[in-house]
């Protein structure tokens, strides 16, 4: 009997705006209005400025290790803009600050997190984001579970979860993808393929030609987009979010981008990256590209740039002031923020004495053994 193909597939690549800021007006129809693009550009400027200040805070010893978001603003913000603020949920990694800010997380919370203050992870009521995830890949399982809960409750909500290319080599990724696809959970998996899993290049961590094709194994709609193209990221994300909300299940988006900084401030990418590669990607900077587009449309000029730069500096100064000026946490927070409701007697004793051992909790017992024993 002759062999016959049982499966064929194609991965599409989506780019609406090239590196010179030229936009395919036909493909971009019904995506972003001029007013929205200007607003998003200004937002990206502020996020970039905060990112650079965060780097300086770490270098001056005022903050712990920090992963810069520089270069990946379009992938984060373009996708987040496609979700409904206050309705849909974001389950992030650690290079999506712009997405979190857009959905209402106060900017100083991110700084608090990297300063080691857990209050940065106490998400305000009404802000539908989960805390920053440091372990590579675990957050995708949370996203699949949250999305499944929405489906069970028949709530028309969608979850967007973010991760890097390295995370797709983790078991958690495949478990989350399988879970979401079998249960048709309303979740959008957004891979920010920035080409490096710390110091390991993409072609040394996977043999597949694209990351997007991994979604084929799970029967999931998938696409690869220019992750530095705000229009392309938004268009692909909007289609995926609308499909999920309509009951079409999960989708996968590979946003091809690049981290212009080190992996974190504990890293030195000069030891493993070719400087020429970095220079090529600097020319593809999403903010530079978007400014070229706005200028070509007569929507932007040097005067406006100066104004937004000054405004961003003022905003970021207030953000830093809020993070560094917060009152010191009290020890009770450890208990009050961990347990709901009245504490069991043993924990109440630990909270009151700040001790876990009996002598610490009952100091009057000290020395009892040295006392004369009476029979």
| pLDDT of the residue at 174 | 98
| pLDDT of the residue at 340 | 84
How far apart CA 188 and CA 144 sit, in angstroms, is 9
How far apart CA 126 and CA 277 sit, in angstroms, is 41
Annotated catalytic residue, options 49, 89, 103, 259: 259
How far apart CA 368 and CA 14 sit, in angstroms, is 77
> Token match 């609406």: residue?
16
Query: For residue 365, is pLDDT > 80?
Result: no
Annotated catalytic residue, options 49, 103, 202, 263: 263
Average of per-residue pLDDT across 130-139: 92
| pLDDT of the residue at 50 | 98
Average of per-residue pLDDT across 252-261: 97
Any catalytic annotation for residue 272? yes
| pLDDT of the residue at 34 | 97
Question: Model confidence over 328-348: pLDDT tens digits?
Answer: 888 888 888 888 888 999 999
Query: For residue 373, is pLDDT > 80?
Result: no
Model confidence at 30, pLDDT cuts 50, 70, 90, reads very high
Any catalytic annotation for residue 263? yes
How far apart CA 182 and CA 166 sit, in angstroms, is 24
Model confidence at 290, pLDDT cuts 50, 70, 90, reads very high
| pLDDT of the residue at 369 | 59
**254 beta partners:** 191, 224
% of the chain exceeding 70 in pLDDT: 98
- What are the tokens at 213? 């094709």
Closest CA to 162 of 133, 187, 191: 191
In this structure, is the dihedral angle defined by the CA atoms of residues 164, 167, 169 and 174, taken in order, positive or negative? negative
| pLDDT of the residue at 354 | 84
DSSP state at residue 14: E
């Amino acid at each position: 009997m002759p062999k016959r193909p049982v499966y064929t597939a194609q991965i599409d690549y989506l780019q609406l705006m090239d590196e010179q800021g030229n936009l395919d007006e036909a493909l971009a129809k019904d995506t972003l209005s001029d007013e929205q693009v200007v607003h998003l550009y200004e937002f990206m400027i502020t996020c970039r400025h905060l990112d650079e200040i965060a780097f300086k805070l770490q270098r001056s010893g005022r903050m712990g290790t920090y992963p810069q978001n520089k270069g990946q603003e379009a992938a984060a913000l373009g996708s987040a803009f496609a979700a409904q603020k206050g309705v849909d949920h974001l389950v992030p990694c650690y290079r999506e600050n712009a997405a979190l800010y857009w959905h209402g997380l106060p900017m100083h919370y991110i700084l608090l997190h990297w300063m080691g203050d857990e209050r940065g992870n106490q998400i305000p009521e009404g802000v539908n984001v989960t805390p920053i995830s440091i372990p590579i890949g675990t957050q995708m399982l949370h996203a699949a579970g949250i999305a499944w809960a929405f489906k069970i409750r028949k709530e028309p909500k969608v979850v967007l979860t973010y991760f890097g290319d390295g995370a797709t080599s983790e078991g958690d990724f495949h478990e989350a993808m399988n879970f979401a696809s079998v249960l048709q959970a309303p979740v959008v998996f957004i891979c920010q393929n920035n080409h490096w899993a710390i110091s390991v290049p993409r072609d040394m961590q996977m043999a597949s030609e694209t990351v997007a094709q991994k979604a084929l194994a799970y029967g999931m709609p998938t696409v690869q987009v220019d992750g530095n193209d705000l229009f392309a990221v938004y268009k692909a994300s909007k289609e995926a979010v609308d499909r999920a909300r309509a009951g079409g299940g999960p989708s996968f988006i590979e946003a091809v981008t690049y981290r212009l900084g080190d992996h974190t401030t504990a890293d030195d990418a000069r030891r493993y990256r070719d400087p020429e590669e970095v220079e090529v990607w600097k020319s593809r900077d999403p903010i530079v590209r978007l400014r070229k587009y706005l200028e070509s449309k007569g929507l932007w000029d040097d005067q406006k740039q100066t104004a937004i730069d000054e405004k961003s500096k003022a905003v970021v100064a207030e953000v830093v002031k809020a993070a560094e000026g917060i009152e010191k946490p009290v020890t009770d927070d450890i208990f009050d923020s961990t347990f709901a409701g009245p504490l069991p007697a043993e924990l109440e004793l630990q909270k009151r004495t700040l001790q876990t051992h009996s002598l610490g909790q009952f100091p009057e017992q000290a020395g009892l053994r040295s006392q004369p024993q009476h029979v």
